[in-house]
């Protein structure tokens, strides 16, 4: 499907962070980071309804996520590399095949959120809107 703006009833970043809840017990090592996978809403801004099968592809082929946790050495290194200033809350782009898929449920939450554990070098870019790329 080509790039289309989606109809968001709530801010997708706020929704993901609210759905996760308190994840302070999740500890990352080295240059790892966790991103919560962006799943498109059911309806486009133009009124087209996406099928469940089409939306389920975001689970397997999602390449957009919001950074929810950074390891202590993520995006740090020596001066030979121009490290980006990526922080929690940034929308990032990565290859669908990179990382390790996992579901995280924060304290007091019952439904897990689909996430991916990545190395900092797997991040291919930063965007301002998750609907920019698909």
Report d(CA 6, CA 45) in Å as an integer: 5
For residue 89, is it within any domain? yes
Predicted TM-score (pTM) of the model is 0.86
> Residue 10 to residues 18, 65, 98: CA-CA distances in angstroms?
11, 16, 28
For residue 2, is it within any domain? no
- Contact criterion met (CB below 8 Å) for 109 and 21: yes
Q: Residue 79's domain is classified under what CATH number?
A: 2.30.33.40
Percent of the chain topping pLDDT 90: 55
Determine the pLDDT at residue 87: 96
For residue 134, is it within any domain? no
Number of domains in the chain: 1
Domain limits for position 72 = 12-128
For residue 7, is it within any domain? no
Determine the pLDDT at residue 1: 41
Does residue 24 surpass a pLDDT of 80?
Answer: yes
Report d(CA 24, CA 27) in Å as an integer: 7
More confident residue, 45 or 22: 22
For residue 53, is it within any domain? yes
Q: Residues 44-74: pLDDT tens digits?
A: 667 777 677 766 677 777 889 999 999 999 9
């Amino acid at each position: 499907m080509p790039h289309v703006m989606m109809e968001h009833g709530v801010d997708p970043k706020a929704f993901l962070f609210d759905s996760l809840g308190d994840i302070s017990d999740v500890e990352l090592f080295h240059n790892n980071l966790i991103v919560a996978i962006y799943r498109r809403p059911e309806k486009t801004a133009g009124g087209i309804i996406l099928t469940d099968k089409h939306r389920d592809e975001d689970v397997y082929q999602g390449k957009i996520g919001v950074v929810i946790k950074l390891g202590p050495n993520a995006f740090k290194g020596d001066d030979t590399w121009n490290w980006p200033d990526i922080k929690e809350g940034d929308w990032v782009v990565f290859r669908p095949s990179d990382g390790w898929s996992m579901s995280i449920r924060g304290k007091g939450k019952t439904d897990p959120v689909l996430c991916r554990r990545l190395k900092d070098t797997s991040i291919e870019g930063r965007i301002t809107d998750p609907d920019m790329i698909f």
